[in-house]
Amino acid sequence: GDSVTQMEGPVTLSEEAFLTINCTYTATGYPSLFWYVQYPGEGLQLLLKATKADDKGSNKGFEATYRKETTSFHLEKGSVQVSDSAVYFCALIGGSNYKLTFGKGTLLTVNP
Amino acid sequence: DAGVIQSPRHEVTEMGQEVTLRCKPISGHNSLFWYRQTMMRGLELLIYFNNNVPIDDSGMPEDRFSAKMPNASFSTLKIQPSEPRDSAVYFCASSRTGGGRGYEQYFGPGTRLTVT
């Protein structure tokens, strides 16, 4: 079945540091890939998405590229802010066309 | 445009009581999902509705859980009787589906359920 593996946290960075959160997946066919963010006490918000190989999703300074050859969708940001502190989830929709499969989440803390 | 609306935001109840969680999806979305989030198990899909019809309820833990979607703008998740192990955050999400591809899902703020 479909699965998502993302780097274990927590990740602690200083403001303006470079961020990478690794995500790899297993799925049949051509899944759609997503990053969601969950701020403390809130629901999940869609951060970015990519629906086919080599697509780059981007939003709020975050980027991720759909790499089919390495089955990866790593999240990056060049300069993090304190307000980026949250839990980040990598996810995919595979052959079912509806079921979101999530990674376990990575807690990011950015210190001033 | 309003996002997914859930109520209540917080619910504290005693073991054995009935709990009903409510969800209003985004207008125009034809798919609705109920998820449960716990520290131990992460995010789990409980049930998926498409065009108001339950399509996949394989994630519903047991018969104590039931979900309905009487129309395109309303769904309920009921737990009867509730147990302490049901304590979790329950999310509702909606999306549009069709055309053989998976579309992004939009989540509500969640209902934090505590069963004592």
| Lookup result for tokens 């979607």 | B69
What is the rounded average pLDDT of the residues A59-76? 97
- Å between A75 CA and nearest CA of chain B: 17
Task: Give the nearest partner residue to B108 out of A31, A43, A51, using CB atoms.
Answer: A43
pLDDT at A95: 76
What's the mean per-residue pLDDT of chain A? 94
Q: What is the pLDDT of residues A94-112, one digit of tens each?
A: 877 788 899 999 999 999 9
CB within 8 Å: A34 and B101? no
Which residues 10-29 in chain A show a CB within 8 A of chain B? none
Using alpha carbons, select from A51, A4, A98 the residue that is nearest to residue B93. A98
| Lookup result for tokens 């066919």 | A29
- The strand ranges marked E within B1-116 are 5-7, 10-13, 19-24, 31-38, 42-50, 53-56, 65-71, 74-79, 88-95, 106-107, 111-115
- Choice between B42 and A76, residue whose per-residue pLDDT is larger: A76
pLDDT at A99: 85
pLDDT at B97: 77
Contact list in B for residue A100 (CB cut-off 8 A) is: 33, 43, 45, 93, 102, 105
Four-point Cα dihedral A12, A51, B50, A87, nearest 10:
0
- Å between B91 CA and nearest CA of chain A: 7
pLDDT at B33: 95
- Å between B16 CA and nearest CA of chain A: 27
Pull the structure tokens for residue A102. Answer: 């999530």
Which residues are CB-contacts of B81 (< 8 A; sequence separation ≥ 6)?
A: B15, B16, B17, B18, B64
pLDDT per position in chain B (116 positions), as tens? 689 999 999 999 999 999 999 999 999 999 999 999 998 888 999 999 999 999 999 999 889 999 999 999 999 999 999 999 999 999 999 998 765 566 889 999 999 999 99
CB within 8 Å: A32 and B103? yes
Q: Which amino acid is at A103?
A: G
Residue A7's CB is within 10 A of a number of other CB atoms, namely 17
pLDDT at B1: 63
